[in-house]
Amino acid sequence: MDIESLYKKADFKTEKHVPVIDIKGEIKKGQDIAVTITVGEEIPHPNTTAHYIGWIELYFLAKDNSMPIQLGRFEFSAHGASALGADTSSVYSSSTVSTSFKTDMPGLLIATSYCNIHGLWQSSLEINL
């Protein structure tokens, strides 16, 4: 078994675990590209002590390149836990992150996420300059 086979893919409109990549504004060479990744965009993910998104990672794979560049790893640690027990806190992480990057090359953005119950998920978005 290879790691690729462990990643699940689905339509984000029907599956709450898919990391959805959204780009704000126009994409131009050498200028910041604003990216937001959300898990549970159409169908909210519960994000409770028992069922949560642990992290999201974002990669960029330049066209004609075989090595992706990791743009960021975002970890979520507030899942309603407290000394009083599970789901007794009023603090819960939202599985949405925003970042930006610059590039002069077209390529593929790849977002991955991890749900403590449902495993690894992946989506991608092509970047054309």
Q: Which residues are catalytic?
A: 15-17, 45, 51, 115, 118
Q: Is 121 left (phi over 0), alpha (psi -120 to 50) or beta?
A: beta
Q: Are 116 and 23 in contact (CB under 8 A)?
A: no
Q: Are 84 and 101 in contact (CB under 8 A)?
A: no
Radius of gyration of the chain (CA): 16
For the chain, give the number of residues. Answer: 129
